[in-house]
Structure 1
Amino acid sequence: MPIYVYWGEDDFAMEQAIASLRDRVLDPLWISFNYTLFSPDLADAAIQALNQVLTPTFGAGGRLVWLSNTTLCQHCSDNVLAELTRTLPVIPENSFLLLTTRNKPDERLKSTKLLKQFASEFREFPLIPPWKTELLVQAVNQAAQTVGLKLTPKTAQMLAEAVGNDTRLLYNEIEKLRLYTAGSHKPLDVETVSKLVRNTTQNSLQLSAAIRTGDTAKALNILADLMNASEPGLRIVATLIGQFRTWLWVKIVMEGGERNPQAIAQAAEIGNPKRVYFLQQEVKFLSVQQLISCLPLLLELEVSLKQGATEMSVLQTKVIELCQVCRQNS
């Protein structure tokens, strides 16, 4: 069936998939007749989209109807569900219905089950967790390979630390490096990458380290640098949460008497067991209770930012509180 459901938080990857689908379905000369985007601010967007996808195409190519930022997979009224049930099985082969949302579909809903039943593609576009460094490096190498850019393991690691899980930034940096090295067949060296790529995620990890040691002055200075570099507050918090979560699991497993790096890595979801030794050294002077006490503060910080609090003020406050927790008895 010509039905596509895309969901997830990786906006850039989703945009690429949408552009690919659009190019495949539509004839450039007939786009104005056969391409319709329905935004979520329309009260009856779902009904209009379902009616539109049944309309015969004009001229060459197919028809694409895009229901953007839809909530059909989170809640669906009875009349819309009835229209879905009637429409999905009879969509013409050259008409394509695309539904996109950032939120995870609720598998319990009848509308979600119906869409999964008829969809040609039901695809997630997730962001890689900032603490899963091996997956970030893998994403960097894949992006470099697509444009023919040669990287060494060290430069790939540097890029992963610099861009984190921001796919759009990754491809922008990869394209910049590709243009800079045009005509060269040598892998990029560390010096070139360090000059051309702005490193913000690494500074977020440095912020984690400063908080862990209770160095309030250093932590606030790093935070100021991040904010001056326009690093989004929620991205900083995501890195902090991932780092403290990993530290907590390592400490819990250690205090449980486990000494096998493989077992510790598995429990803490660390892809490379060689990192375990360094993580053990980092949490040596912190207690489990200190690490546990940090997580509610980070959650409060995330909620405050999502509710529209002033970024710099709330970040500074919580960084000071986190440093105080980590400095106790350390």
Structure 2
Amino acid sequence: MAIYFFWGDDDFALTQAIQKLQTDTLDPAWASFNFDRITPDQADPVELALNQAMTPPFGMGQRFVWLVDTTIAQRCSEDLLAELERTLPAIPETTTLLLSSHSKPDGRLKSTKLLKKTANVQEFGLIPPWKTDLLHRQAEKIAETYHIQLTAAAFDYLVEAVGNNTRQLHNELEKISLFADGNSQSLDVGTIAPLITTSTQSALQLSSTIRQGNTPVALELVADLLRQNEPALRIVATLIGQFRQRLWIRIMMDAGERDDKIIAQAANIGNPKQLYFLRQELASISTPQLKRAMPLLLDLEYSLKRQGAEEVAALQTKIIELCQLFKPRSTSSK
């Protein structure tokens, strides 16, 4: 018996894990007979999956039953819970049962507690864009699978370029691996930069342009990002991460903290040496400015997520407001 529950919003990592599990389970010659993919639009999908899981495989290999986008970890009736409690422990060793969901399981539910007892539960969640340390570790781990080495600065550039987009991270590292062609030396920024699609890099440029109060250039960058089919929410996530990081640094500077390691840890900065440049940047930006910027960005994120705002208009409006906030003024204080 092998039961798995995969969940999370990282579609690429989730799909990869499912494909690997499917490959490890099925005999290619008998895959069409022993693979069942059960979707939410089918009648009684959970009961159907459990029935198929109890069915012996044909020929060689195991049976692989995949219950797609199940909601049993968010809501589960008493009758369905009783069926799960009866069937899950009895699933034969010749079956691999996979349940997947994009939503976080509700730990209070009896069905979730049952899954934690009987299944191998794995999370595949996107790393928040502002948690650069975790993004670095993810990039380093995946780079190892492609047998390539990068300098620290090259990893910095790669993480800034792709953000938390794991699909693009794999694509970029695959390109770099093909280019390296077995070269065991660490590749630097100058080597990898021409190979990488830098949509997030452009979003970082947008963040910098906003802090300079340059409205025309900021609007051009927004238009360019949208032409590259960069999702509006990803643009906003990058901006939020950048401004939150600088707000933390500014607050700690105002409080008199001088230890770069402490400031870097609070602001999720992997390399404390970056603070030298960030301090120079923040010399012309005040704490009140950064504090007023955060509600504008969070309001933009909320309007895009919850209210279905028209992306172009919403982005343009808030970008103008943000640029006005940071626009240099010779006669008034910031």
What's the TM-score once normalised by structure 1's chain length?
Answer: 0.91
Deviation at 1:3, TM superposition (A): 1.1
Aligned to 1:101: 101
Q: Which amino acid aligns with 1:293?
A: R
Describe the SS at the equivalent of 1:296: helix
Aligned to 1:274: 273
Aligned to 2:112: 112
Q: Which amino acid aligns with 1:57?
A: P
Q: CA RMSD in A?
A: 2.1
Aligned to 2:139: 140
Say if 1:75 and 1:295 are closer, same or farther in 2 by CA, change over 3 A.
farther
Please list the CA deviations of residues 198-250 of structure 1 after superposition, one character each: whole Å capped at 9, or x if unmatched.
Answer: 21112111111111222212211221221222211111111111111112222
Residues 132 and 271 in structure 1, CA contact (< 8 A), matched pair in contact too? no
Residues 215 and 319 in structure 2, CA contact (< 8 A), matched pair in contact too? yes
Aligned to 2:193: 194
Which moved further from structure 2: 266-275 or 97-106? 266-275
Q: Which amino acid aligns with 1:25?
A: T
Deviation at 1:262, TM superposition (A): 2.4
Residues 69 and 102 in structure 1, CA contact (< 8 A), matched pair in contact too? yes
Deviation at 1:36, TM superposition (A): 0.9
Gaps of 5+ in 2: none
Deviation at 1:111, TM superposition (A): 0.9
Gaps of 5+ in 1: none
Say if 1:287 and 1:152 are closer, same or farther in 2 by CA, change over 3 A.
closer
Deviation at 1:19, TM superposition (A): 1.2
Q: Which amino acid aligns with 2:5?
A: V
Say if 1:106 and 1:277 are closer, same or farther in 2 by CA, change over 3 A.
farther
Aligned to 1:57: 57
Please list the CA deviations of residues 253-312 of structure 1 after superposition, one character each: whole Å capped at 9, or x if unmatched.
Answer: 222332222222233333333233333333333333332322222222223323443322
Say if 1:189 and 1:242 are closer, same or farther in 2 by CA, change over 3 A.
closer
Describe the SS at the equivalent of 1:4: strand
Aligned to 1:19: 19
Matched residues, number: 329
Inter-partner Cα distance in structure 2 for 1:266 and 1:294: 22
Please list the CA deviations of residues 125-151 of structure 1 after superposition, one character each: whole Å capped at 9, or x if unmatched.
Answer: 122222233333333332222122232
Which moved further from structure 2: 253-262 or 58-67? 253-262
Q: Which amino acid aligns with 1:169?
A: Q
Please list the CA deviations of residues 55-100 of structure 1 after superposition, one character each: whole Å capped at 9, or x if unmatched.
Answer: 2222111111111122211222222222211111111112121111
Which moved further from structure 2: 64-73 or 247-256? 247-256
Say if 1:312 and 1:33 are closer, same or farther in 2 by CA, change over 3 A.
same
Inter-partner Cα distance in structure 2 for 1:187 and 1:228: 34
Deviation at 1:169, TM superposition (A): 0.9
Q: Which amino acid aligns with 2:68?
A: S
Aligned to 1:255: 254
What's the TM-score once normalised by structure 2's chain length?
Answer: 0.90
Residues 70 and 100 in structure 2, CA contact (< 8 A), matched pair in contact too? yes
Aligned to 2:73: 73
Inter-partner Cα distance in structure 1 for 2:59 and 2:276: 64
Inter-partner Cα distance in structure 2 for 1:68 and 1:96: 14
Aligned to 1:9: 9
Q: Which amino acid aligns with 1:265?
A: A
- Of all paired residues, the percent bearing the same amino acid is 55
Map 1:1-330 to 2 at 5 A: 1-42=1-42, 44-119=44-119, 121-182=120-181, 184-306=183-305, 307-327=307-327, 329-330=333-334
Q: Which amino acid aligns with 1:69?
A: D
Inter-partner Cα distance in structure 2 for 1:82 and 1:16: 32
